[in-house]
Amino acid sequence: MAEVKTHNPFPIEDPVSDTMKLLRDKPPAHYILQIDSFSLLLKILEKSDAKSYDSMTFEACGYKWKLSLYPNGDQKRNAKGFISLYLRIEETNALPVGWEINLNCTFFVLDQIQEKYLTIQDVCGKFRHLYALKKDTGLPRLMQLDVFKDEENGYLVQDKCVFGVEVSVNSYKGRGECLAMPVKPSSATYTWKIVDYSKSDEPRLSDAFTRQDFKWRLIMLLPRGTKRDEAKYLSLYLNSLDSKITLSVYAEFKLRVKHQLNGKDIEQTADHLFTSIQSYRGFGAFQPLNDIADTSKGFLVNDTLIVEVEFVRISSVKSFTEG
């Protein structure tokens, strides 16, 4: 009784392989390499003393590529006795200096008996990495050569075979943000002397100053009108001038009005994430105005009020772009 062979759509598995193999009906989306005479290809390569056949250039995911087929295996990568198949990026001179590409690629071999494609891809969505010194990626041991040549397996039928590839590039667009570790500035305190304090009830703005590479200013608001009774308070705020440029700036800080006689300052602590919508933070009722106006209490001397901000820590959330 004659032995009955069963069709095995999968080549013998490598127990240490980190790829997975599946069958599917749909052809590869990006490129097909069809060879109508595999034996002729072998002769051509032998006569030209070449080890591989390179496809024409094709485009996928905004880049130019070639498929490189080693029909007798890539012996430099210890793949004698296998079919080797690689994807190689082309025209890299047009890419920026220091280019890097992370990609997933799926390689295809047509099973002509089942009319399905055997797909070989990395497990768990593993990325392959290309850069100037490494321009190709692929499978040195795509399939054992004897399995491929056995016509009953369906990969080489009447000397014809079909390979293919799909590419998915994880294209970095240079968009993101960085939340920096908060640090205490080397020069943490800014002092603002407000001269001729009592001569105006208009809002006062300090000069812009820089701490930890960010620009700030202090805002002092007095109540409307000139009547100063116990219901009236000095309002004091810290204003970020960078929050419209960076995504946000976080600060822990102390606002104080200096006592110019005995050093018993009035101080309040705050923290805030400064953004383009909320670019200032402070206290609407920082200190009663009558305490300031009473010169015997030592806050107002020669009609000069001294206000300080001390930064405890500053952090930033900066957006960044490529290049």
Pairing of strands 304-320, 300-301: antiparallel
pLDDT of residue 271: 94
Q: Please state the rounded mean pLDDT for residues 66-92.
A: 95
- Judged against a pLDDT cut of 60, whether residue 158 lies above it is answered with yes
The confidence band for 213, taking pLDDT boundaries of 50, 70 and 90, is: confident
The confidence band for 245, taking pLDDT boundaries of 50, 70 and 90, is: low
Residue pLDDT, tens place only, 282-291: 998 999 888 8
More confident residue, 15 or 189: 189
Q: Please state the rounded mean pLDDT for residues 139-160.
A: 96
Tell me the Ramachandran region of residue 281: left when phi exceeds 0, alpha when psi lies from -120 to 50, beta otherwise: beta
Distance CA 237, CA 103 (A): 50
The chain-wide mean pLDDT, for the chain, equals 87
Q: Which residues contact 88 (CB under 8 A, 6 or more apart)?
A: 54, 65, 66, 67, 68, 135, 136
The confidence band for 227, taking pLDDT boundaries of 50, 70 and 90, is: very low
Which CATH entry fits the domain spanning 19-170: 3.40.640.10, 3.40.50.300, 3.30.465.10, 2.60.210.10?
A: 2.60.210.10
- Judged against a pLDDT cut of 60, whether residue 16 lies above it is answered with no
| Most confident by average pLDDT, 5-9, 139-143, 173-177 | 139-143
Which residue bears the tokens 């485009």?
59
pLDDT of residue 126: 79
Q: Which of 4-8, 126-130, 207-211, 254-258 has the lowest mean pLDDT?
A: 4-8
Paired strand residues for 109: 118, 163
Residue pLDDT, tens place only, 165-208: 999 998 666 677 777 788 888 889 999 999 999 888 788 999 99
pLDDT of residue 5: 47
pLDDT of residue 138: 93
pLDDT of residue 139: 94
Distance CA 73, CA 149 (A): 13
Distance CA 84, CA 74 (A): 6
- Judged against a pLDDT cut of 70, whether residue 22 lies above it is answered with yes
- Judged against a pLDDT cut of 80, whether residue 226 lies above it is answered with no
- Judged against a pLDDT cut of 50, whether residue 280 lies above it is answered with yes
pLDDT of residue 174: 63
pTM over 0.85: no
Distance CA 49, CA 43 (A): 10
- Span(s) in the chain for CATH 2.60.210.10: 19-170, 178-320
Paired strand residues for 308: 191, 256
pLDDT of residue 231: 53
Structure tokens at 272: 């805030």
Written out in words, the top-level CATH class of the domain with range 178-320 is: mainly beta
